[in-house]
């Protein structure tokens, strides 16, 4: 061993570590065992775990179970990490030992070694500050990992929700802007009765608002924490007052009103709050990708598609076709949504793999959940700004499709009868002559009667009773 390295020992033997490393031997073993993806824990998950360690040090000091000097050193180390320092020391791959022991020890070791430095001691002197006996005191990976999952999920969910509000607001504003633009509705991708372009966009806004509301309701279950359950939910080796103190401190540190789990054993066994959040994210992705698909279809063209709307041109679309502009922002949203839907399947499979007192697949669950929220949070403001806010209508094209639609025949059912209307629709489709022209040509209705019947406000439900 030289000055560039230090030696640490555990129950399996000894290892040399870089002298500058704040992680320790158990993290080193995890690096050797799981060099899988190069993906590290989400910053919010690191933050959540460090908050747990900070709260634990303070709680143990209050309970006179940890001396003030050690507690303050651990708290100071935690505060430094929370401020952004030592981010490069949380090195364990997201695909790691089941239940997350490797990551828990990564956090314990970093905080212990930094606390040692704060106390003027050397890294690795775990007799003075131990990753297990001090930083992890009264804790198990089995109760801290799911607690961190819930904390991180609430924190990131609270950042995602405003991006959905912004998107819904932009869609609703477009709905107002396009309120007077009549167009042909379409079902089965075939002509149907008329709607307004504004109605389509306000419906998109409502879909996003409802998806956001469903997401927000997940927070209630996520605010329930399993901390204090120890290894199997029995609270083994957990001192009186610890659980209550942890809930209180975590609530104060985060500003989130957490509460203790009603049944610690259930909270250790089941990851239902995670699957609920994941499935709601999947449902959101389904809504968003449906809307993106509609925007792509409505803007198709410019000459040979529907071309009822125009999406903002944000970059050239082809390396070989000059002048081509593609709906890239909507396409990107599609891909993000597909990824979120895939993440949900991983979470579902991991959740059902829980056995007896514990689900050991938690690391892959939280990685996929936080990844889903992260990519949505990052992209939705861009999609809102670079796509939705710049959408313009092509009212002439919309009107032409409306007037030429065989769906107009449906409106005439109560005036000329279903069979006569059906014959008009068939003739219009066969001859290319509009339904309106055929009615006038056959003297079935006067122009004045037809104008009244086909009044855009009346037929789209905007004119009142």
Q: Which residues are known catalytic residues?
A: 318
* DSSP bridge pairs for 259: 224
Say how far apart CA 200 and CA 179 lie, in whole Å. 9
Q: Which residue, 392, 377, 382, 345, is CA-closest to 173?
A: 392
Q: CA-based diameter of the chain, in Å?
A: 102
Q: Is residue 138 within 8 Å of 227, Cβ to Cβ?
A: no
Q: Is residue 201 within 8 Å of 174, Cβ to Cβ?
A: yes
Distance between start and end Cα atoms, the chain: 88
Task: Give, in degrees to the nearest 5, the angle at Cα 363 between 362 and 369.
Answer: 85
Alpha helices in 83-196 (DSSP H): 101-118, 141-177
Contacting residues for 122 by C-beta, under 8 A, at least 6 apart: 6, 116
CA distances from 336 to 148, 154, 159, 278, 343 (A): 25, 21, 17, 14, 11
Q: What single-letter DSSP state applies at residue 238?
A: P
Tokens 């086909």: give the residue: 454
Say how far apart CA 3 and CA 16 lie, in whole Å. 11
Tokens 């030992």: give the residue: 97
Say how far apart CA 133 and CA 74 lie, in whole Å. 12
Tokens 């003075």: give the residue: 128
Q: Which residue, 79, 76, 93, 81, is CA-closest to 38?
A: 93
Q: Which two tokens stand for residue 233?
A: 């939910």
Alpha helices in 225-270 (DSSP H): 242-254, 264-269
Output b/e per residue, 255-294; b: 16+ Cβ within 10 A: ebebebbeebeebbbbbebbbbbbebbbbbbebbbebbeb
Q: Which residue, 407, 178, 436, 461, is CA-closest to 308?
A: 178
Q: Which residue, 395, 425, 12, 11, is CA-closest to 182?
A: 395
């Amino acid at each position: 061993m030289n000055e560039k390295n230090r030696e640490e020992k555990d129950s399996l033997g000894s290892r040399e570590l870089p002298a500058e490393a704040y992680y320790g031997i158990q993290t080193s073993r995890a690096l050797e065992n799981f060099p899988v993806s190069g993906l590290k824990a989400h910053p919010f998950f690191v933050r959540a775990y460090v908050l747990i360690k900070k709260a634990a040090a303070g709680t143990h000091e209050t309970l006179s179970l940890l001396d003030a000097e050690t507690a303050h050193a651990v708290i100071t180390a935690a505060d430094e990490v929370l401020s952004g320092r030592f981010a490069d020391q949380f090195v364990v791959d997201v695909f790691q030992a089941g239940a997350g022991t490797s990551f828990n020890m990564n956090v314990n070791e970093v905080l212990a070694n930094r606390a040692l430095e704060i106390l003027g001691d050397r890294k690795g002197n775990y007799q003075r500050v131990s990753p297990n006996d001090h930083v992890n005191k009264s804790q198990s990976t089995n109760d801290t990992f799911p607690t961190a999952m819930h904390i991180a999920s609430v924190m990131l969910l609270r950042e995602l929700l405003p991006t959905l509000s912004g998107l819904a607001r932009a869609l609703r504003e477009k709905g107002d802007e396009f309120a007077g633009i009549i167009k042909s509705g379409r079902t089965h991708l075939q002509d149907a009765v008329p709607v307004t372009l504004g109605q389509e966009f306000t419906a998109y806004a409502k879909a996003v608002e409802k998806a956001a509301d469903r997401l927000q309701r997940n927070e209630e279950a996520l605010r329930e924490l399993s901390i204090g359950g120890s290894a199997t939910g029995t609270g083994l080796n957990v001192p009186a007052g610890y659980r209550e103190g942890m809930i209180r401190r975590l609530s104060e540190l985060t500003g989130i009103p957490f509460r203790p789990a009603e049944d610690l054993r259930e909270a250790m066994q089941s990851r239902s709050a995670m699957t609920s959040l994941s499935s709601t994210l999947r449902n959101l992705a389904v809504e968003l990708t449906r809307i993106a698909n509609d925007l792509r279809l409505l803007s198709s063209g410019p000459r040979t598609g529907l071309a009822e709307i125009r999406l903002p041109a944000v970059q050239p679309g082809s390396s070989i076709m000059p002048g081509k502009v593609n709906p890239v922002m909507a396409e990107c949203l599609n891909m993000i949504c597909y990824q979120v839907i895939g993440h949900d399947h991983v979470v579902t499979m991991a959740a059902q793999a829980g056995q007896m007192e514990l689900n050991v697949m938690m690391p892959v669950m939280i990685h996929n959940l936080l990844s889903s929220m992260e990519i949505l949070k990052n992209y939705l403001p861009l999609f809102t700004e670079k796509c939705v806010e710049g959408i313009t209508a092509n009212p002439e094209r919309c009107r032409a499709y409306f007037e030429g639609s065989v769906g107009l025949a449906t409106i005439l059912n109560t005036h000329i009868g279903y069979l006569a209307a059906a014959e008009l629709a068939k003739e219009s489709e066969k001859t290319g002559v509009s339904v309106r022209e055929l009615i006038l040509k056959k003297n079935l209705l006067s122009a004045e009667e037809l104008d009244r019947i086909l009044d855009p406000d009346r037929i789209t439900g905007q004119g009142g009773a």
